[in-house]
């Protein structure tokens, strides 16, 4: 098979989005760790790293536009560039949520320790796992795994409702814990949103592989 000029740029684009994906994944992981281990230095690192992620987003935007304008990709190449261009801002938003969790950690770390991290940690574990699997599925162009990850979002939603109720009860029973519980509620919401965003990534993975638009539709199985 001949080497095409576009291949070099597509490879570069792939490298850049994988780096962005890995950095975003690390940001989510560190943000939660900073909260659970009450490590404010780590939370600050997450916030600093956000600037790097913003820069990565810009670079991917520029490269995607350049490839579209100069190389006129078609078929799979086109779907790849479109998927990358759409996944990139999603990853950037996930990183923003990681930043918000780090912000909450900075506040909560100055409050008395609360014991309600168990289900939040479970939510974070599911969200981070979804993100990791979604990025792996993007690399492998595996639409079956992507469809499975989409289903996992329901688990996060269920856990979110549970955490929400528990924190609400805590606020009622112990008004002095209201500030802390409110921040934890925000953290839970950020994790729930991350789950939604990962779902969007998986839908784009399916588009990349099958050219099928599954967004806004009930679960559709892959063609045999």
Partner 1 sequence: MESKISISNLDFYYGKAQALFDITLEIPERQIVAFIGPSGCGKSTFLRTLNRMNDTIPIASATGTVMIDGEDIYAPGTDVVALRRKVGMVFQKSNPFPKSIFDNVAYGIRINGIHNSKTDLAERVEKALIDAALWDEVKDRLNTSAFGLSGGQQQRLCIARALAVQPEVILMDEPASALDPIATQKIEELVVELKRKYTIVIVTHNMQQASRVSDRTAFFMLGKLIEYNPTQKMFTNPDEKLTEDYITGRFG
- Lookup: tokens for 221: 């199985």
CB of 202 to partner 1, least distance (A): 19
| Whole-angstrom distance, CA of residue 154 vs CA of residue 160 | 10
- Lookup: tokens for 123: 């939510």
- Lookup: tokens for 198: 């990962």
| Whole-angstrom distance, CA of residue 140 vs CA of residue 128 | 18
Cβ proximity to partner 1, 63 vs 95, nearer residue: 63
| Whole-angstrom distance, CA of residue 151 vs CA of residue 7 | 34
Cβ proximity to partner 1, 142 vs 166, nearer residue: 142
Cβ proximity to partner 1, 21 vs 73, nearer residue: 73
CB of 65 to partner 1, least distance (A): 17
Cβ proximity to partner 1, 85 vs 101, nearer residue: 85
| Whole-angstrom distance, CA of residue 50 vs CA of residue 2 | 39
Cβ proximity to partner 1, 197 vs 207, nearer residue: 207
- 106 burial class (0-12, 13-18, 19+ CB within 10 angstroms)? middle
CB of 215 to partner 1, least distance (A): 16
CB of 10 to partner 1, least distance (A): 10
CB of 134 to partner 1, least distance (A): 22
CB of 46 to partner 1, least distance (A): 38
Interface residues with partner 1 (CB under 8 A)?
1-2, 4, 6, 72-79, 210-211
Residue with tokens 């806004």, as numbered in its chain? 216
Could you tell me where the DSSP H helices lie in the chain? 5-36, 40-71, 75-108, 118-140, 143-173, 178-210
CB count within 10 Å of CB 68 equals 14
Cβ proximity to partner 1, 78 vs 114, nearer residue: 78
| Whole-angstrom distance, CA of residue 152 vs CA of residue 128 | 11
């Amino acid at each position: 098979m001949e080497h095409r000029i576009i291949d070099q740029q597509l490879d570069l684009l792939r490298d850049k989005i994988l780096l962005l994906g890995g950095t975003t994944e690390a940001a989510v992981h560190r943000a939660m760790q900073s909260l659970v281990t009450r490590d404010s230095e780590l939370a600050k690192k997450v916030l600093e790293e956000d600037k790097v992620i913003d820069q990565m987003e810009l670079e991917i935007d520029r490269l995607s536009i350049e490839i579209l304008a100069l190389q006129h990709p078609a078929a799979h190449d086109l779907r790849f560039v479109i998927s990358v261009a759409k996944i990139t801002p999603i990853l950037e938003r996930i990183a923003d949520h990681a930043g918000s969790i780090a912000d909450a950690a900075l506040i909560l770390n100055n409050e008395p320790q609360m014991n309600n991290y168990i289900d939040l940690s479970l939510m974070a574990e599911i969200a981070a796992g979804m993100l990791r699997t979604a990025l792996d599925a993007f690399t492998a162009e595996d639409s079956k795994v992507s469809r499975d990850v989409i289903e996992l979002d329901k688990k996060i939603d269920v856990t979110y409702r549970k955490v929400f109720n528990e924190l609400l009860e805590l606020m009622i029973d112990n008004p002095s814990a209201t500030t802390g519980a409110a921040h934890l509620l925000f953290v839970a919401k950020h994790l729930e949103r991350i789950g939604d965003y990962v779902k969007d990534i998986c839908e784009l993975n399916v588009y990349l592989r099958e050219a099928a638009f599954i967004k806004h539709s009930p679960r559709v199985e892959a063609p045999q």
